[in-house]
A and B are shown apart, each in its own frame.
Chain A
Amino acid sequence: MGCYHSKKAKSPGYEDPSILSAETPFTVNEVEALHELFKKLSSSIIDDGFIHKEEFQLALFRNRNKRNLFADRVFDLFDLKRNGVIEFGEFVRSLGVFHPNTPTEDKITFAFKLYDLRQTGYIEREELKDMVVALLQESDLVLSDEVIEIIVHKTFSEADAKGDGRIDQEEWKEFVLKNPSLIKNMTLPYLKDITVAFPSFVLNSEVEDSE
């Protein structure tokens, strides 16, 4: 059971579902269902087996040209090899962070990387303000610069426990544990039902789940 592996030609970047399953919270069948989703996303503009930035934007916004600071950050974090595209293995490993069963600590770490725009190891006040401004630009909410400064200042004074003008990973963790709603978007309940959402994986399945 679960021992049959064919050598069917797969797209570049394809990885063995059993390996991906071992490294993530997904079962083999769930990885295969994710492959169905991946095939759909990675062929929406250029059918080459990789998710390009425009395809990612198209899936998120129904608009291939809609740039968004946060979508850019998510794309960059998913692109573990930093080669400008998301490969299947990167897709599965990164989505694993969003699985309901993934430890909160992993989600907190991912969110920190997301918000550490300049990748300095700290979330700085300027970065926080840049993100608030970016969020306002994509929403209908209009706030004066003075109000934005007050929001950023207040948040920073609560999160920057050491008061050194920057939020480190430890401070971020403490802050999120006090405000768990901050990482609500790091959990996708959908991932628990992925085999139901993409049942066609059954037709293409090479491995029978042993779980």
Chain B
Amino acid sequence: MAPVTMNAFELISTSQGLNLSSLFEK
């Protein structure tokens, strides 16, 4: 996918800081 077609919010939503599933990892 060419970067210019990316939706900025979609890009942001991939941040590790927003991936709270890590909180449940043992």
Chain A residues within CB distance 8 Å of chain B: 37, 41, 59-61, 68-74, 95, 98, 114-115, 128, 131-132, 134-135, 138-139, 141, 143, 147, 150-152, 154-156, 158-159, 175, 179, 181-185, 188, 190, 194, 197
Contacts and interface: CB of A to CB of B under 8 A. Distances in A.
Contacts of B9: 115, 128, 155, 159, 175, 179, 182
Nearest to B13: A185
Contacts of B11: 132, 135, 151
Given A132-B12, A151-B3, A74 B17 contact: yes
14 contacts: A37-B23, A60-B17, A74-B17, A74-B18, A74-B20, A128-B8, A131-B12, A135-B11, A138-B17, A151-B4, A151-B11, A182-B10, A185-B19, A188-B21
Given A60-B19, A182-B13, 20 more contacts: A60-B23, A61-B16, A70-B16, A70-B17, A71-B18, A95-B20, A98-B20, A114-B18, A131-B8, A132-B8, A138-B15, A138-B16, A147-B3, A147-B4, A151-B6, A154-B8, A155-B8, A159-B9, A179-B7, A188-B20
Nearest to A182: B9
Contacts of B16: 60-61, 68, 70-71, 138
